């Protein structure tokens, strides 16, 4: 019988049970150990090529380093053991690259420091991860724009403080979601140039080991890796990575808001929307009738987790002198997990919203459960030109009390008042107490949101 090793994953982002609920294969691959080590190698090779271009090391040495430095030749067990001793993975990696490259190995890692290689590798990961997030947001915006357009005129109860307030449309609600992600799309684009920059500065960040050629090498390295050149060393200036994770917190925060709306609207008493039906999804082990909003629950959980990492990244910005004594390490935890969780939440959002089931009849029913009281403001404003605003307010207030205490509808209560029938017949009363006739500019706001979104 073949022995199958027991997987050692212990967190949701790598769990064989939960990894596809909380993340995506694409984002896990970008932040995998294998991908990270490959990025370390990419930076070391690019550095050799850059230094050869500038004339710091022999061109033939750079050629050997580029040819021989392959991840397939890495002894990962030995690298892990040495990393445990050293505390960082670059020296163990350099030891192996030097051996791979023979005489040319003397030029591996020339003039660099550990953090140069690690920061640049993470900058490459973050650049590629932001591209993936950017694509996910673009897909989600298309879904939201289509949903908003479809339900531009679908009336429903607008709610404030969890109480029915005024009528809106479901498309209006979705347009608000869309506008949030329009802004996130812009933020990703604006942030990229601040984050996708090379780190190459040497031991204390002064490029002293390369003399007058330091800036040239730095620029050539950035060109090799298609990264930007920073104004100064950022060994202890961590605002770029902190901004990236805090942007992810904004993205997942918006997803959490959408998730909360969906979960409440999907509750039995509301029953206005449902996540797409997949046999068995959201089922209960004891209650066969259950259809839990699983994607929304996962989106909300991701929002809470990434928010914590955003705080951790801000805390990690507080670093001592020219090289930190510990805050840097916190980034190793926060950055990969934040990107994976955000990708997972966006995946869940695209699924839930792409197939969202909207019960328009139920929305209309719920809009009517107040028996017209939801449009009390509309009635007051319609009557005000005839009898004055305050008197209209008092009449409508009394009519609302009648409905609350004795039943019936607001239209019936108003039709029983001579002060009202003096100016309005029953048809007019019915019209001004119909919630569908008091949507304000909600439909037009949908049009504007969709138009503006299409320009991004």
Q: Domain end: 90, 107, 124, which one?
A: 107
Enter the pTM of the model.
0.91
Same domain? For 252 and 337 the reply is yes
Residues 121 and 89 in one domain: no
The pLDDT assigned to 209 comes to 87
Domain-located, residue 4:
no
Cα 24 to Cα 246, 299, 306, 436: the distances in Å are: 20, 13, 15, 42
CATH number of the structural domain spanning residue 410: 1.10.40.30
Co-location of 24 and 72 in the same domain: yes
Tens digit of pLDDT for each residue in 104-130? 999 999 999 999 999 999 999 999 999
On whether residue 204 sits in a domain, the answer given is no
CATH number, domain with residue 60: 1.10.275.10
My answer on whether 357 and 393 are in the same domain is no
Assess whether 310 and 401 both reside in one domain.
no
Answer with the one of 366, 389, 414 that is the final residue of a domain: 366
DSSP for 210-268, written as a single string: GGGGHHHHHHHHHHHHT-B--SS--SS--HHHHHHHHHHHHHHHHHHHHHHHHHHHTST
- Identify the pLDDT of residue 4: 60
Instruction: Count the helix, strand and coil residues of the chain and give each as a percent rounded to the nearest 5.
Output: 65, 5, 30
Range of the domain at 122: 114-154+161-197+234-366
pLDDT at 41: 96
Kindly state whether residue 171 falls inside one of the protein's structural domains: yes
Do residues 58 and 41 share a domain? yes
Give me the CATH number covering residue 252.
Answer: 1.20.200.10
**Amino acid 53: pLDDT:** 94
| Active-site amino acid positions | 161, 284
In sequence order, what are the residues at sequence separation of 6 or more whose Cβ sits closer than 8 angstroms to the Cβ of residue 98? 105, 106, 108
In Å, what is the CA distance from 39 to each residue of 90, 263, 297, 328?
A: 11, 41, 34, 18
Residue 311 is assigned to a structural domain of this protein: yes
Q: Are residues 90 and 45 part of one domain?
A: yes
The structure tokens listed for 238 are: 């961590």
**How many CA within 13 A on the CB side of residue 187?**
18
Q: Assess if residue 351 is contained within a domain.
A: yes
- Residue 298, in any domain of the structure: yes
pLDDT of residue 6: 62
Work out how many domains the chain is built from and give that number.
3
Same domain, 127 and 261: yes
- The model's pLDDT over 125-183, given as tens digits with 9 standing for 90+, comes to 999 999 999 999 999 999 999 999 999 999 999 999 988 889 999 999 999 999 999 99
| 294 and 251 housed in the same domain | yes
CA dihedral 190, 454, 22, 257 (to 10 degrees): 90
Per the domain annotation, does 456 fall within a domain?
no
* Residue that is last in its domain, among 366, 384, 413: 366
Residues 60, 130, single domain; the answer is no
**10 Å Cβ neighbour count for 32?**
14
The pLDDT, as a whole number, for residue 424 is: 87
Predicted pLDDT of residue 447: 97
Quick one: tokens of 11?
Answer: 């967190």
Tokens representing 246?
């805090």
* Residue 447: inside a domain: no
| Dihedral Cα 342, 347, 348, 349, nearest 10 deg | 90
Say what the pLDDT of residue 338 is.
Answer: 97
Largest CA distance in the chain: 104
**Mean pLDDT score across all residues of the chain:** 91
Spans in the chain with pLDDT lower than 70: 1-7, 279-290
Asked if residue 142 and residue 264 are part of one domain, the reply reads yes
Question: In this structure, are 277 and 347 located in the same domain?
Answer: yes
């Amino acid at each position: 019988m073949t022995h199958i090793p027991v997987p050692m994953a212990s967190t949701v982002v790598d769990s064989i049970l939960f990894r596809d609920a909380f993340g995506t294969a694409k984002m896990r691959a970008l932040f995998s150990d294998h991908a990270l080590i490959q990025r370390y190698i990419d930076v070391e090779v690019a550095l050799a090529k850059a230094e050869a271009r500038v004339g710091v090391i022999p061109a033939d040495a750079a050629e050997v380093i580029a040819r021989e430095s392959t991840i397939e030749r890495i002894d990962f067990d030995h690298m892990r053991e040495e990393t445990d001793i050293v505390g960082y993975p670059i020296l163990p990696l350099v030891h192996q690259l030097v051996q791979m490259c023979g005489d040319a190995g003397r030029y591996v890692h020339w003039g660099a420091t550990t953090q140069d290689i690690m920061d640049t590798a993470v900058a490459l990961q973050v650049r590629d991860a932001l591209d993936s997030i950017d694509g996910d947001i673009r897909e989600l915006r298309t879904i939201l724009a289509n949903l908003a357009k479809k339900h531009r005129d679908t009336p429903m109860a607008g709610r404030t403080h969890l109480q029915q307030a005024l009528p809106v449309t479901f498309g209006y609600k979705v347009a608000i979601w869309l506008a949030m992600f329009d802004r996130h799309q812009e933020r990703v684009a604006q942030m990229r140039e601040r984050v996708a920059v090379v780190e190459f500065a040497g031991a204390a960040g002064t490029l002293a080991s390369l003399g007058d050629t330091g800036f040239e090498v730095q620029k050539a390295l950035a060109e090799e890796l298609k990264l930007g050149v920073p104004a100064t060393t950022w060994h202890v200036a961590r605002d770029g990575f902190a901004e990236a994770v805090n942007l992810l917190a904004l993205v997942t925060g918006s997803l959490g808001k959408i998730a909360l709306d969906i979960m409440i609207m999907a509750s039995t008493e509301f029953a206005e929307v449902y996540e797409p039906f997949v046999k068995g999804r959201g089922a209960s082990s004891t209650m066969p009738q259950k259809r839990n909003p699983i994607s929304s629950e996962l989106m909300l959980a991701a929002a809470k987790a990434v928010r914590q990492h955003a705080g951790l990244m801000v805390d990690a910005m507080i670093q001592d002198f020219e090289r930190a004594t510990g805050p840097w390490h916190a980034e190793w935890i926060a950055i990969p997990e934040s990107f994976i969780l955000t990708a997972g939440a966006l995946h869940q959002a695209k699924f839930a919203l792409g197939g969202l089931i909207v019960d328009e009849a139920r929305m209309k029913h719920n809009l009517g459960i107040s028996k017209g009281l939801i449009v009390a403001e509309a009635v007051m404003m319609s009557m005000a030109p005839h009898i004055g605003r305050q008197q209209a307010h008092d009449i409508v207030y009394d009519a609302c009390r009648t409905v609350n205490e004795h039943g019936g509808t607001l239209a019936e209560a108003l039709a029983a008042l001579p002060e009202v029938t003096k100016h309005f017949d029953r048809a007019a009363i019915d019209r001004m107490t119909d919630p569908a006739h008091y949507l304000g500019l909600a439909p037009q706001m949908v049009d504007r949101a969709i138009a503006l979104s299409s320009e991004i």
